Homo-oligomer: A and B are copies of this chain.
Amino acid sequence: MPELFLSPRVRSTPFSPGVRAAAPKALTVYNHMRLACVFESPEADCAHLKKHVQVWDVAAQRQVEVTGPDACRLVQWMTPRDIVRVSVGACAYVPVCDDSGGMLNDPVAMRLDVNHWWLSLADSDVLLYAKGLAIGAGMDVSVREPDVSPLAVQGPKAEDLVARVFGDAIRDIRFFRFAICRFNGEDHIVARSGWSKQGGFEIYVEGRHNGMPVFNALMEAGGDLNVRVGCPNGIERLESGLLSYGCDITREHTPYQAGLGAYCHPETVECIGREALLREAAVGPSRQVRCLDIGGAPVPQLTDFWPVTGDGGGIGRISSAAWSPEFRTNVAIGMIDRSHWKGGTEVEIHAPDGVRTARIREAFHR
């Protein structure tokens, strides 16, 4: 594989010195920023994550901060999820849609105060969408990217590690809630969240100068916990059914097609794409994200979509796939036509190394 050419356009993060010292084997670019993908190997990184604790530089989850009298109006306009129900101190997974109901991002929204929101982004410039909407509609609101960089602590020992650095109060934070915690005399938001199902926290480190001090404090406090520098793991997230925006779901897909219907309330909220979403909700989506088990030996790295056929015709595509050592199968995510959703249905996957049989699952592995 070719190397990633580094330049300031592919932004470094406040934690980059720590990541560089841990010598990642592969990086990607996410929101114009560096994001590690592999340290030892996807399999070894996955096994370690499930047993111990890892510190992840996920600064690439950039924040869009929305403040001001019209903040709630703007955030509500951007998502079909009813944000009135999101209280201060809570996180909410909010699909962001355009006027055809197509998904522009799937951020976690955090309500810091009544009129103060952060959207913790997947990989697209929602900052520009929010600015455009606010300018276009003449809203009384401020939209900016603050100097905030999330650092995730994930794995079964994450709570113990974070408690050592931020205090035992973090143990009381419930899932998808956050608290304000002090480090070196400065406040940071600590949320019980993260892109794995191994449990853990995301520390929203405020101020670039605080990046390496927080990173180093966690690494130093975790020696006996076998802490490692890690990164979002492609195997674990597939087993767990965590979607990757831009890959498993794109602008061409609606929240219903992404399987996020539970987070959509177009009947009751005034959001962009409302009419399109109501129409689709009435008849149901024609295609949807599905978990599949792909037979045969471990699949090669998926670098582009793999076509899926069933009953002699094209019925979708595989967007992510990897061998799972835990479940002894190739776990995959695909966008599949409604005709072939039923659990147990057999379909064919056209991988670069040949055609394989796969089976639609009723649910993800974890």
- Interface residues in chain A, defined as those with a beta carbon under 8 Å from any beta carbon in chain B: 1-10, 12, 16, 23-29, 32, 36-38, 98-99, 104, 123-126, 128-139, 145, 244-247, 251, 272, 301-305, 319-320
Question: Is B247 a contact partner of A8 (Cβ separation < 8 A)?
Answer: yes
Residues of B near A303 (CB, < 8 A) are: 6-8, 12
Question: Is B4 a contact partner of A26 (Cβ separation < 8 A)?
Answer: yes
Residues of B near A3 (CB, < 8 A) are: 1-4, 25-27
Question: Is B29 a contact partner of A2 (Cβ separation < 8 A)?
Answer: no
Which of B27, B38, B134, B246 contacts A9, CB < 8 Å?
B246
Which of B9, B38, B145 contacts A244, CB < 8 Å?
B9
Copies of this chain, whole number = 2
Question: Is A4 a contact partner of B7 (Cβ separation < 8 A)?
Answer: no
Docked Cα-Cα span, A251 to B9, in Å, equals: 12
Question: Is A126 a contact partner of B128 (Cβ separation < 8 A)?
Answer: yes
27 A–B contacts from the bound complex (CB under 8 Å): A1-B3, A1-B4, A1-B6, A2-B23, A3-B4, A5-B26, A5-B27, A5-B28, A7-B320, A8-B303, A8-B319, A9-B28, A9-B245, A9-B247, A12-B303, A16-B304, A29-B29, A99-B131, A99-B135, A124-B125, A124-B128, A129-B131, A132-B134, A132-B135, A132-B136, A136-B138, A145-B251
Give the residue name and chain of the B residue nearest to A12 (CB).
B304
Closest CB of chain B to A91's CB: distance in Å? Answer: 23
Give the residue name and chain of the B residue nearest to A303 (CB).
B6
